[in-house]
Structure 1
């Protein structure tokens, strides 16, 4: 077994967290081909992404509180087993309806890894150090979305879209082995809580009443929704509308993830020097700037790959800065129910993103306009949410150092 405070444990938790971006990003280049193979439209294939987010969101409401009672490790093991089975179902899906079922079940199982990995970091490292550890975890995890579209494009080219889900099943099997044989339980027995519905609901009510928790969560959800709007629409905009080859799409996606990677390094490097809220303000400002530029170019009728990818690299730089800090800020005040806090945080994040992504698919007009305007609005929403719900509270209570 690994030591809880070791670097190897952080890497293992980052690999578990990477399950989410792998399951969403790897099949992006294959979406147009999947629509053709299953004889359906872009809106139905895009729904496999939104339904995945919806299943992911619902599962988080269960796995966090259950892990507060029984521990993080057994819940993650059960989730990976379900993810593995669902990935096989997606591979064998004869129609888009079966694919939708498989994606929902895949999300329901896959949620346990990212949600409980965050909670485990809070269990092991405490409220202050968790922000720095989550930032460096995000740096490691950035390899997943950077490589996933390139790997997905290669698999599509040589083996067909089904091979994407075969690889996801193999990844889940590897993570299952790590959990069973190497990763110890991070939640001490003396900190475990009742799973009684009344207790769970009381924890959720407590969290929803905390202005700081809601502020950090909404900032995160807005930034993540901008990211998800790109995931929902970019393959149809760049590949179908602008004629970008699937392999080049994967390369461009890698550049976007590089922006996120640099942002996470900035977040980790300056976490102690600048503090959580200065970094979030910086990240939200960068997100807003990138999103507004993309929306402006699309509104002006400039429909070129650089006008989409360039501003989104800037947007993702901001996401990389604020994402780990908002996670740590939301979890910091609640060590007694870190699993429930991580669950509710993830539920709100994914639900808002699923709605935004669904709207991008429904109102897609064949150009980049709908996607770009959505990303611009989400960047502005992140900035406004932090200013109104978190920064103003800190100005009123300057002595409060908990958050």
Structure 2
């Protein structure tokens, strides 16, 4: 059994959280091939990504509050079990409809990893140290999206697109074994919450009245919407329009993720020295500048891979700072309902991103313009939210005290 505060536990939590980017990034190089194999258009294949994010967002509203009552570990085990079965459904799908159903179920199960991984860090490390730990956890987690497109391109080349989902099934099975046999329960019994609807709704209502929670959440969601616009449109822009091969696309994607990796390392190193809000000012400025540069190049007619990949490396460096710092800022004042706070944070993040991705797919004109403009909007909104809701100062409030009954008094 692992110790809660050991580096190995942080690595396991990062691996659990990495399920989200793995399930989105690994099959990106295969999207054009999937459209051809399933006899459908790019808009329907892009919908598998938006539907995944929508299901992911919806599931988060439930798994966080349930984990506040029954603990993080059993909910994660159930979620990874659903993800495993859904991945097999995707692998053997014979039509776009079956693939869409499998992707939705994948999201519903996979949401437990990122939501409860964040909540577990807050459970273990507290409000101040959580930002630093989340930064280093994100650095570890960044290896997943860095390697995923390259692995996906290799699987596509040698085994076909179905093998991507078979590998995700294997990953889920390994995580299930680690969770069951090695992972301790991070949530103490005396901090368990009731799952009564009135308590859950009261928690959500309280969180939505916190200026700081809303501000940090919207900063993250806007930046993530820019990232998701790239995920939704980049394979069609870079492979179909600009002529990159799937392997070249995977290599370019790896360079972009290295920007994110560098940002998370910078965030962890300077978290104590600069403080959360100074880091977020720098990060949102970088996201706004990089997104605006990409959009300007696209509008000016610079339809070359460097005009997309270069600015997006800078955007991802900024978002590598935004992600852990905004998460820590949103969860910091809410120790008694970290699961619910993480759920609402993730729901808003994924919902806004899914809407942005759907719009990119709907208005894709065959060039990089629509995608680039969506990324620019994400960066600019993130900066505006920081300046209006965070820099002017926010307030914090604890969640309602947990309702403890006879069952929650027992050790988990």
Q: Name the residue aligned to 1:185.
A: 185
1:362 aligns with 2:355: no
Q: Name the residue aligned to 1:172.
A: 172
Q: Name the residue aligned to 2:275.
A: 275
Task: Measure, in 1, the Cα distance between the counterparts of 2:9 and 2:55.
Answer: 27
Divergent runs of 4+, >3 A: none
Residues 37-52 of structure 1 correspond to what in structure 2 (within 5 A)? 37-52=37-52
Unaligned runs of 5+ in 2: 399-412
Secondary structure at the aligned position of 1:151 is classed as: helix
Q: Name the residue aligned to 2:68.
A: 68
Q: How many Å apart are 1:401 and its aligned residue?
A: 13
Q: Name the residue aligned to 1:118.
A: 118
Secondary structure at the aligned position of 2:65 is classed as: helix
1:160 aligns with 2:160: yes
Q: Name the residue aligned to 2:94.
A: 94
Q: Name the residue aligned to 2:199.
A: 199
Task: Measure, in 2, the Cα distance between the counterparts of 1:366 and 1:158.
Answer: 28
Q: Residue deviations 1:342-393, cap 9 Å, x none? A: 0000000000000000000000000000000110111000000011011112
Q: Name the residue aligned to 2:305.
A: 305
Seen in structure 2, the aligned counterparts of structure 1 residues 43 and 101 have a Cα distance that, compared at 3 Å, is same
Residues 110-149 of structure 1 correspond to what in structure 2 (within 5 A)? 110-149=110-149
Task: Measure, in 2, the Cα distance between the counterparts of 1:228 and 1:374.
Answer: 9
Task: Measure, in 2, the Cα distance between the counterparts of 1:134 and 1:229.
Answer: 24
Secondary structure at the aligned position of 1:195 is classed as: coil
Q: Name the residue aligned to 2:371.
A: 371
1:243 aligns with 2:243: yes
Secondary structure at the aligned position of 1:146 is classed as: helix
Secondary structure at the aligned position of 2:366 is classed as: coil
What RMSD, in angstroms, separates the aligned Cα atoms of the two structures?
Answer: 1.1
Q: Give the structure-1-normalised TM-score.
A: 0.98
Q: Name the residue aligned to 1:210.
A: 210
Task: Measure, in 2, the Cα distance between the counterparts of 1:87 and 1:29.
Answer: 17
Task: Measure, in 2, the Cα distance between the counterparts of 1:350 and 1:340.
Answer: 15
Q: Name the residue aligned to 2:405.
A: none
Task: Measure, in 1, the Cα distance between the counterparts of 2:273 and 2:397.
Answer: 15
For the 8 Å contact 2:32–2:42, the answer to whether it is kept is yes
Task: Measure, in 1, the Cα distance between the counterparts of 2:373 and 2:106.
Answer: 30
Secondary structure at the aligned position of 1:270 is classed as: helix
Task: Measure, in 2, the Cα distance between the counterparts of 1:138 and 1:293.
Answer: 26
Task: Measure, in 2, the Cα distance between the counterparts of 1:281 and 1:32.
Answer: 38
Count of aligned residue pairs for this structure pair: 398
1:106 aligns with 2:106: yes
Q: How many Å apart are 1:335 and its aligned residue?
A: 0.2
Task: Measure, in 1, the Cα distance between the counterparts of 2:210 and 2:144.
Answer: 33
Q: Name the residue aligned to 2:329.
A: 329
Q: Give the structure-2-normalised TM-score.
A: 0.96
Task: Measure, in 2, the Cα distance between the counterparts of 1:278 and 1:151.
Answer: 36
Task: Measure, in 2, the Cα distance between the counterparts of 1:262 and 1:122.
Answer: 23
Task: Measure, in 2, the Cα distance between the counterparts of 1:56 and 1:322.
Answer: 20
For the 8 Å contact 2:139–2:261, the answer to whether it is kept is yes
Q: Name the residue aligned to 1:286.
A: 286
Task: Measure, in 2, the Cα distance between the counterparts of 1:43 and 1:135.
Answer: 35
Q: Name the residue aligned to 1:28.
A: 28
Secondary structure at the aligned position of 1:342 is classed as: helix
Q: Name the residue aligned to 1:7.
A: 7
Secondary structure at the aligned position of 2:285 is classed as: helix
Task: Measure, in 2, the Cα distance between the counterparts of 1:164 and 1:401.
Answer: 44
Task: Measure, in 1, the Cα distance between the counterparts of 2:363 and 2:289.
Answer: 24
Q: Residue deviations 1:72-112, cap 9 Å, x none? A: 00000000000000000000101000000000000000000
Q: How many Å apart are 1:321 and its aligned residue?
A: 1.0
Secondary structure at the aligned position of 1:233 is classed as: helix
Secondary structure at the aligned position of 1:393 is classed as: coil
